[in-house]
Structure 1
Amino acid sequence: MTVPAEVPPVRAEVGLLALLQENGDLLLDEGLSVARELQLYRFALAEMRTKLAVLQDEITLSDDYNPIEHISARIKTPRSIAEKLRRRGHPLTLESMQANLDDLAGMRVICTFVSDVYRLLKVMDRHPDVAILTVKDYIAAPKPNGYRGLHAIVETPVHLAEASHPVRVEIQFRTIAMDFWASLEHKTYYKYDKTVPDALLRELTEAAEHAHELDLRMEAIHRQIRGGDDRAGGQ
């Protein structure tokens, strides 16, 4: 079985407190609680990576085909948490963080083809320890900038010594081509400090369309090579 890469540990620090101390919104105790809570989300990422690794190996053995190119994971930083809560007008508290943010733990699953994205979501939906809470299908309905991907909020139990805790994880499924495009778009927005020239925005949108066309053509070739074998499924 593929051994999932370790999720980097969350440093036990009161970063959220240090960032917002001037507001008086957090006490020292709560700052420490935020760090402990983020460790719980780290454990949830490790759980989901293991589940995906098992699914990946099962499909590879049964179909002689690996649907996952690679997986990355991250925990939202205290600074990013605070900025997002502030931007959305929510209180800067532990309870507010738990209630209002679904992407504290995030995973990116890069698939070879579009059909792999839908297949993995379908298989995960049958997993007894995974509850799919919401799905945003940006493949069927792309974002205005042309981005296509499948974003799901899932919940999985984290079993600790004293109890089990349900924890939410955001999973973004993308193809290789769309992940390359999204990386370029991110770098572009960073380079221009989010004020990207209109002409460049149009080029990025066109590039997203070309990436999707490439996805479809490559999958059609893949199916021809496999002799019309459609076991990989689809939408």
Structure 2
Amino acid sequence: MPKKGLILTVLAAAVLLAANALAESRVLTFDGDGWGTGVWGAYNTTIRMEPSGGNPGACVRFHGIGGLGGSFANQGVTGDLAAAGFTRLSMDIKAVQWFLRPDNTRPKGFFFIRNDSGAAPWVKAIPLFAPTTAAYKTCFANFNPAWTDAQARANGWTAMPFPGTIGTVSFAETLRRVAQTGFWVQDLSAGAECSVLVDNWTLGTRAAMAPMKKDMKMDPKRRIQPFPGVPNKQ
């Protein structure tokens, strides 16, 4: 093969490998040794590793009062999401103990993505959020790292200041320097205890295919402190 043709072949192969790498999902299955999840919000949330009961295998149990929240700051699901080519955040969730307020038929669930600068996170409500005790449900939120702030807001994302955050940064900048992703649930019965199981915390794409479940060892040293408080109403 001519040298020029060989170079072109190598370059084509490199592009193909890069495309495959960008398309690969990153999944926290919680089946490995060690983990680095944290609590988030003002609901007295606690976390416990469960060796079984996941979807499948191990999972994480979040328990809170009137609501709950969790965060994931492992290096596998942080960093430059734009360069990685990710466009979807998802989780499998199942209710264990669930009490709705008498005036509320459905609690609110949110995903959030937080920049490493300590700025306000970008937040999106989870549509049709209704975990059940019968089976796991997959919840997801789509995003485009190239969106302008106006485009992000038009697609349901908003920068939401909380106590302890410092200013705001653009949606695009947030996606280039992600330090923490997570979720929270609110509008459950005031003072009532609630618990959920979470498994397969995933960064992937919108492609309609089953993501490759890839165990990732969680690093307890990469923990981000939760915000001091979360408002009960948005």
Asked whether the two chains share a fold, i.e. TM above 0.5, the reply is no
Larger strand fraction of residues: 2
Higher relative contact order (CA 8 A, sep 6+): 2
Q: TM-score normalized by structure 2?
A: 0.25
Larger helix fraction of residues: 1
